Chains A and B, each alone.
Chain A
Amino acid sequence: MGSIEVSHLTKWYVPGSPILDDVSFREEGCGAVGYLGPNGAGKTTTLKLLLGLLQPSAGSVRLNDLDPAQDRRRALARVGAIVESPEPYPSETIYDALERVGALRGLDASGIDDEIDRCHRELHLPPLEWPCGWLSKGERQRVVLAAACLGDPAVLLLDEPTNGMDPAERVEVRGFLKRLKRDHLILMSSHLIADVSAICDRLIFLDRGKIRLRASADEVASLVRVDAVDVEFVRPTELAALEGLQPWVRKSVRLGDRRYRFRFDGQEETLSRLLEECGRVGPLLSFTPSVPALEAVYRQVITDAPDREA
């Protein structure tokens, strides 16, 4: 099993303006950890520090209990990573690009072929004889993900792993990562809330170089106070027909012939009465919180951060 440890990690280029400010966390075992934050929060910087591509201004990092700054080869031996937007040489074939990584990781020829076959199957890679220069951005990203997984590393550090993929590819990769997290430790930074929400069990919210919240996905869901609900009626419904909802609704927005968004005080009892009243107006097709739980928490955590400028 792998481990990732970040201890009082600080990084600055200009004194007084830290990119990361005293960040600490430790993750071990298996599972997927979402590393969330807006642009410039310090997510990629953390991954680069973990990989030894940057030197910390203060604090330390350890991968599988080894310091990459001290012993890069051993520290990264059981780590696969995607950072920034890596790409193989456009002239080399997919097979050559993966074979190079396998050889540098110490796999023998048959081991490399087995691993390439496995990745080819699980990630539905394009034909291996294609040059990487022919690939779309999403296909290239899948090759890069395959390269990160080659040799079955215990820890995966993934910076925007679904970057450039179309929705179908993203769903496929989500499934792949969900299978992978059963016996691997994944630290995944992403802007795509839907991906993080689908894959990750634990979450770290980072903003302006500081950890704002660290919790399990369940804990995060319990933090959400839903104050808006999207309701879809079976039949087209006029706004005038919804006058009976007024005591429970702060604001109504018409989203379509049959769809409305109702903002309320966030109390469960109010929501229950509101939906009951909607049912009296006409049969309901569906009702869903207007903002997914994780996105709502992200907005609250990042927007309400105490030292965040307006």
Chain B
Amino acid sequence: MPEGAEPYLPSPYSQWVIVARSQIRHYVRTYRFIGLVTFVGIVSVLWLVLLVASGRGLVQLSFLNSVSEFLTDYAQTLPLWIILAAACFGGDALSVDFHSGTGYYTLVLPVNRSVLLAGRYASALSVTLGVVVFYDLFGILGATYAFGPGSLPWGPLGLSFGLSVLFALAAVSVAFCFSAVFRTPATGVLVTVLVLFVALSTVQGVAEMAGLEPWWSLYYAGGSIANVLDWQFVAQQTIPVGGGQYIQSWAATAQEGASIMAAYVAMFFAFTVVLYQRKESRG
């Protein structure tokens, strides 16, 4: 290069594409990805086996009365898969920079931290959505087999997928935030699962028993992914528990679920950006 000439650097957008592409390539080769996809695949195949067995009269399945019932039941585990994928691919996305050598391989390059963050965010989201699409395809295959291709409710299915994308965005944002808070990568992964799945679902159950709507819970919002597929969906129910006692039960509508998810995305993504920009590589 001539003396004093300004060196050529790709635009931040091009660098973002390079970071995201290489990160996706890394993720899909990890044992975490292979393990998760295998597990989700086994569960999906079990559903198909049940459907085939039911079709041949080997088992009686209560959820096979309608395509809506089948898809609703099938989609109920989607939030769990999304949380697991987001934790696996987002829970250590930033802590790895300051904990392991793989971070220092990239951090010394002429790339802005915001570009690294955006690239990793896009790749974690892509891989999480890959798991969603993989699971959804099995569901559509099963519904087609059991009820015929003409029976599929494409509108609600599209809405459900849209909510899945939003839920994945929210879960990845939370996971990234934890990965910026904790220095140990494994801690970020574990805390994401514990908070999003174990803690929120437990506190949600307790709140409902106390008669409070869990509008603050992302896990509650994730229920809307399945709820929009249910033709007989009821947002609020009063359930008798014996002895003249009743408890309230809430289920998130599409609008409510989307609002909660969007709030999580905005809040946790903002936290992540601030924490990551301020984070120093001490040690």
Query: Using a CB–CB distance below 8 Å, which chain A residues touch chain B?
Result: 1, 13, 48, 51, 53-55, 72-89, 91-92, 96-97, 100-101, 103-106, 144, 147-148, 152, 157
Contact = CB atoms under 8 A, between A and B. Distances in A.
B56 interface: no
Given A103-B10, A144-B105, 9 more contacts: A54-B281, A74-B6, A79-B108, A86-B101, A87-B104, A89-B29, A92-B29, A103-B18, A105-B110
A236 to B, nearest CB: 50
B110 A76 contact: yes
Contacts, number: 97
A1 B3 CA distance: 7
Contacts of A89: 26, 29, 102
Contact of B111 (A73, A88, A148): A73
Contacts of B22: 92, 96, 100
Contact of A104 (B110, B282, B283): B110
B110 A55 contact: no
Contact of B280 (A54, A76, A144): A54
A147 B26 contact: no
Contact of B10 (A83, A86, A106): A106
A100 B19 CA distance: 8
Contacts of B3: 1
Interface in B249-280: 280
Interface of B: 1, 3, 6-10, 12, 15, 18-19, 22, 25-26, 29-30, 100-102, 104-113, 280-283
A92 B110 contact: no
A81 B108 contact: yes
Of B6, B109, B112, B281, chain A has the most CB atoms within 10 Å of the CB of B109
A88 B109 CA distance: 13
B184 to A, nearest CB: 16
22 contacts: A53-B107, A54-B281, A72-B111, A72-B113, A73-B12, A74-B6, A75-B110, A76-B108, A77-B9, A79-B110, A82-B108, A84-B104, A86-B102, A86-B108, A87-B101, A104-B18, A104-B106, A105-B109, A106-B8, A106-B10, A152-B1, A157-B108
Nearest to A150: B109
Contact of B108 (A54, A83, A100, A106): A83
A54 B101 contact: no
Nearest to A108: B8
A82 B104 CA distance: 8
Contacts of B283: 84
Contacts of A72: 110-113
B282 to A, nearest CB: 7
Of B25, B281, B282, chain A has the most CB atoms within 10 Å of the CB of B281
Contact of A83 (B100, B104, B110): B104
B102 A73 contact: no
Nearest to B113: A72
Contact of A51 (B1, B19, B108): B108
A76 B282 contact: no
A54 B282 contact: yes
Contacts of A157: 108
A91 B26 contact: yes
7 pairs of A and B residues whose beta carbons are closest in the complex:
A87-B101, A76-B110, A91-B29, A86-B104, A81-B108, A86-B105, A77-B7
Contacts of B106: 104
Nearest to B5: A78
Nearest to A87: B101
A84 B101 contact: yes
B105 A105 contact: no
A103 B10 CA distance: 8
A105 B9 contact: yes
Contacts of A144: 105
A55 B106 CA distance: 18
Given A73-B112, A103-B18, A147 B105 contact: yes
A157 B109 CA distance: 12
Contacts of A48: 281
A101 B19 CA distance: 10
A88 to B, nearest CB: 5
Contacts of B280: 53-55
A87 B106 CA distance: 9
A106 B107 CA distance: 16
A87 B100 CA distance: 8
A152 B282 CA distance: 29
A6 to B, nearest CB: 17
A103 B7 CA distance: 14
A84 B3 CA distance: 31
A179 B30 CA distance: 39
A201 B12 CA distance: 38
Contact of A106 (B7, B19, B25, B112): B7
A220 B9 CA distance: 40
A105 B106 CA distance: 11
A287 to B, nearest CB: 44
A84 B18 CA distance: 24
A103 to B, nearest CB: 5
B18 A88 contact: no
Contacts of B105: 86-88, 97, 144, 147
